[in-house]
Amino acid sequence: MSHRWLIGVDIGGTNLVVAAVPYTGGEPAAVRSRPTSPGRGADAAVADIAEMAEEVVAETVERHGARREDFRGVGIGCPGPLDRRKGVIGTSPNLQWDGYPIRDRISAAVGLPASLDNDANCATYGEWWQGAGRGTASLVGVTLGTGIGGGYIEAGRLLRGTSGSGCEIGHMTIDFDGRMCGCGNRGCLEAYASGPAIAARAREGLEAGRTSVMPEMVGGDLSLVTAATVYEAIQAGDAYASEVLTESARILAVGLANVINVFNPEMIVIVGGVTRAGRYLFAPLREEVGRRAFGSAVEACTIVPGALPATAGVIGAAGVFVMERHR
C-alpha cells in the first residue's frame, strides 16, 4: 500500500526548511535546510526551496517506497503578516519581501497545489497535530525567537481573522508609552521579550559593569551576546544571566496573562530556543502569570514547552494544507 505525502516548507528569518511529511501526520521522512538570505531576494529563496523539495521527494521515493504522484501538496509557513487569500507576503518587520506572491511561486516551482500560513500558525498547528498539544480542545502557540508570534486553535481549527493576520501576540501593546518596536508601534511584547530584546537587556547590564561569565564567552565583544549566550551562561551558574532571564520571563508573563484572559485556552505551548532555559524560564513565568490573569483561567491552562523543537513549523505547514483541504 502506498501512502500519501506532503511537502512542508518553513521559511524562517534564519533558515529555509523543507520536509516530506506523511499526509496523516508523523515524523518527516526527509528534511533539508539552507540558510535564508533575504538580501538575495524571494525568487532565489523559491529556487532553493524547489531544489530542496526535489531532494526530499527523491529521498522519500528511494527510502520509503513512495511514488512521486503520492505527493499531494505543499504547505508553506512564512513570517507574517500575510494576505492568505491571495497568498502574498505583507509588510513585515522581519522579512522584507513585501507583496511577493510566495504561495503561487512555490506552487509553480514545485508543481503541486500549495497552502500558505504564517510561521507561528504553522508551529502552533504542528504542536497541536503531532506535538505537545495533541488532543487539546483549545491551544495557543507562542513562538519565541527573533520575533514573537502566536496561533490559536479551537476545535481543531486555526483562528482566522478577516485578512490573515490574526494572533499577532508579539504586537500586543503591554506598555503604551514604552519601547519602540520594529513594527512602528510602542511597547509591543516583542520589544521586551524576543530573543534580541533579551540579548539587549543582558548587554545593558554588562556594559554597566555587572559581573558575569558572558563577556568571556563572547571574547569580550558584547555585540556578540545573544539570547543563546544568556541560556548558556545560566547553565554555567551565572547569577546575572539568571536575573536577566527571570526579568524577561516576567515580561513574557504579561503577554501570556493577556493571552489567557483573551483566549482562556486549555494549553499554551511555547516554541523556540528559549525553552531550552527550562525551569529558569517556566518557574518565574508561571508565577507571574498567576499574579496577573484570572484565577479560573490560569487554573484551566497548562503552560508547556513545545515537543517538536526542530520540526513543529515544517510539520505544521504540511498539516495546515490538510486542514484547509478538509474544512
Q: Which residues bind a copy of itself (CB under 8 A)?
A: 81, 83, 90-91, 137-138, 150, 154, 159-169, 171-177, 183-187, 251, 254, 257-258, 261-266, 291-297, 299-301
Nearer to a copy of itself, 34 or 292 (CB): 292
**Closest CB 51 distance from a copy of itself, rounded Å:** 31
**CA–CA dist 145, 190 (Å, integer):** 9
Q: How far is the CB of 19 from a copy of itself (least distance, A)?
A: 28
Alpha carbon 260 to chain centroid, angstroms: 19
Nearer to a copy of itself, 267 or 270 (CB): 267
Residue type, 160: R
If you count them, how many residues does the chain have? 327
Residue placing its CB nearer to a copy of itself in the complex, 145 or 149:
149
Least separation, in Å, of the C-beta of 93 and a copy of itself?
10
Nearer to a copy of itself, 94 or 212 (CB): 94
Give me the least distance between CB of 176 and a copy of itself, in Å please.
Answer: 5
Q: What's the grid cell of residue 140?
A: 495557543
Query: Do residues 70 and 3 touch, judged by C-beta distance below 8 A?
Result: yes
Using DSSP bridges, classify how beta strands 302-305 and 267-271 pair: parallel, antiparallel or unpaired. Answer: parallel
CB of 183 to a copy of itself, least distance (A): 7
Query: Helix, strand, or coil here: 7?
Result: strand
Beta carbon nearer to a copy of itself, 33 or 165: 165
